[in-house]
Chain A
């Protein structure tokens, strides 16, 4: 018995590939000099063992720590075109959720290939990781990585399957209150982790929610992404006008979750597991809360 392997010869000409945002991109066969325009992409590249091929990333690329040492090409929305060109990339990677369309248009004009990703859900995040692996010649590693992540997603799903589903308010920003809309990987991750996002019927990706509407929706739990730019402590909300009236605030059901929930990278799954743990322990403690003391 024989297994016939058709080893396809590496074509010498560039490939025209349609990226996830529908743009046709001239992608080299084996990119050696990659620029990442988003922290999530930088993390994914390192997770695929391609960190040493990154020749530039953004000022916000802080994970893994060595990503900070790469030359930076600017911020997500206004990277410096000339910095990008000067780093002689053979491929630039961007993501529709974080970068500007104009950046892609300008790189097109300069003949620098930009491959665009998009991720509106956990599933799309996993797909984008696998897709990136294929494009960069790391299909097998990406497949393995994503299979592992998928097993963890399934484990979380199974764990929360029969648990009660608390209503969750996810706070992207609190003044004004901005939350995650339905078609975001954040809302999706909360749903998989066993919560019901109270903003699932709102339009837009990052809708503003009035405090009175949020109060009316009466979330069981309020989640905040823990990041350096989010300075207030959770205790401050006990005194904050409007906020102190939330049932969840009165009951101290506010939690920080890792801010990797903001990043459609492999670490999104870490954050999702943490959300599941928070919601789960919350349910347990609620179950043995006032009733058990009675």
Chain B
């Protein structure tokens, strides 16, 4: 089933996916380590008593976490969609390209140095993501243009190099810091502050909006860079802008949630199965789809082994790694 990218179809699809996101979020709000009846969830969400346990659980624990999952999911899925278009390779993903490792390294350096810098670890994660993507971008350029496979390989090698540095620094850190980072390296949505949500919300929305502006150009880029240039697309400008926006999204996501893998791979792939590869429909589908998938994954992460919690990265990897292998085999065959 491929949805044609008419305005009516796109709006209809967005309405369906938006409604799905609301339904999935409502389900996630009702599920958790503590069993709440639907009426309790409702009164906890809308009731006047902000200090009751039910209200704290629903409004201060579950709701912020669901919003965080939706924002991070949208950011990573759109970032993956853009990277796949730029590299004309369905295996591209912020995790595979080393961007997540760069962000993780930034945060870990902040903790290692300690003091005031430790408090700025989200900022350092964002910096790490930007530096890494710039580095991979420079490595992957051949004659002023992006060379798809060189870039992918540069990303994989950079990721493994950065992971080695992370392991080295972990041996120098105190046990107490390492415990926190170990969770974070596997992707963790359990730590969220209101400030983070207030910054993340508009930042993710703006960046996705800006990327949508390039949707048609990304379609043309799929034909190849030369073909796109013949068709009047300013290839260098489109590539640089979308690359930066994608890394901005990844940096924001990783700085608050750690390295959640495979989402940027899994969701665009599912999206293309539904709407094809026209970015005018694929980008919004990936954004909402990413939000839905990560909200579901995180709900599983916090309920499967309740009252303990799984790192959400373990859940996405369980679903994402087989998809990666499937895509790899299909590309090879």
Contact = CB atoms under 8 A, between A and B. Distances in A.
Contacts of A109: 60, 193
Contacts of B48: none
Interface string A57-88: 00100000000000011110111111101101
Given A80-B309, A206-B175, A106 B190 contact: yes
15 contacts: A74-B307, A79-B308, A80-B306, A80-B307, A83-B306, A85-B61, A96-B176, A97-B176, A100-B180, A101-B180, A102-B183, A102-B190, A106-B190, A109-B60, A204-B174
Contacts of B174: 204-205
A74 B56 contact: no
Interface string B55-67: 0110011100000
A72 B183 contact: no
Contacts of A144: none
B6 interface: no
Contact of A80 (B33, B53, B183, B191): B33
Interface in B165-188: 171-172, 174-176, 179-180, 183
B122 to A, nearest CB: 13
B308 A101 contact: no
B175 A100 contact: no
A77 B180 CA distance: 8
Contacts of A82: 32-34, 57, 61-62
B220 to A, nearest CB: 45
Interface string A158-181: 000000000000000000000000
Nearest to B182: A77
A32 to B, nearest CB: 16
A204 B33 CA distance: 35
Q: Dominant SS at the A interface?
A: loop
B179 A74 contact: no
Interface in B274-313: 302, 306-309
A99 B306 CA distance: 18
A103 to B, nearest CB: 9
Given A83-B33, A86-B34, A86-B53, A110 B309 contact: no
Interface of A: 59, 72-75, 77-83, 85-86, 88, 96-97, 100-102, 105-106, 109-111, 203-206, 208
A35 to B, nearest CB: 12
A102 B191 contact: yes
Contacts of A88: 53
Contacts of A77: 179, 183
Contact of B53 (A79, A85, A102, A205): A85
A205 B62 CA distance: 35
Given A72-B307, A78-B308, A82-B62, 4 more contacts: A74-B309, A82-B33, A82-B61, A204-B175
A83 B34 contact: yes
A251 to B, nearest CB: 32
A104 to B, nearest CB: 11
A78 B190 contact: yes
Contacts of A83: 33-34, 306-307
A85 B183 contact: no
Contacts of B190: 78, 81, 102, 106
Interface residues of B, number: 25
Given A59-B308, A109-B193, A205-B174, A85 B179 contact: no
A80 B302 contact: yes
A203 B173 CA distance: 10
Given A80-B33, A81-B190, A106-B191, A100 B183 contact: yes
A136 to B, nearest CB: 23
Interface string B96-135: 0000000000000000000000000000000000000000
Nearest to A206: B175
B56 A85 contact: yes
Nearest to A59: B308
B75 to A, nearest CB: 21
Closest 6 CB pairs of A and B: A80-B33, A74-B307, A80-B307, A86-B34, A74-B308, A205-B175
A59 B180 CA distance: 19
A107 to B, nearest CB: 11
A203 B178 CA distance: 14
Nearest to B176: A96
Contacts of A81: 61, 190
Contacts of A79: 307-308
A31 to B, nearest CB: 17
Contacts of A74: 33, 306-309
A74 B34 CA distance: 12
B180 A110 contact: no
Nearest to B58: A82
Interface string B14-39: 00000000000000000011100000
Interface centre among A73, A82, A88, by most chain B C-beta atoms within 10 angstroms, is A82
A101 B56 contact: no
Contacts of B306: 74, 80, 83
Given A86-B34, A109-B193, A208-B171, A78 B183 contact: yes
A109 B175 CA distance: 24
Contacts of A59: 307-308
A202 to B, nearest CB: 11
Contacts of B33: 74, 80, 82-83
A34 B53 CA distance: 16
A5 B176 CA distance: 44
Contacts of B180: 100-102
A103 B322 CA distance: 33
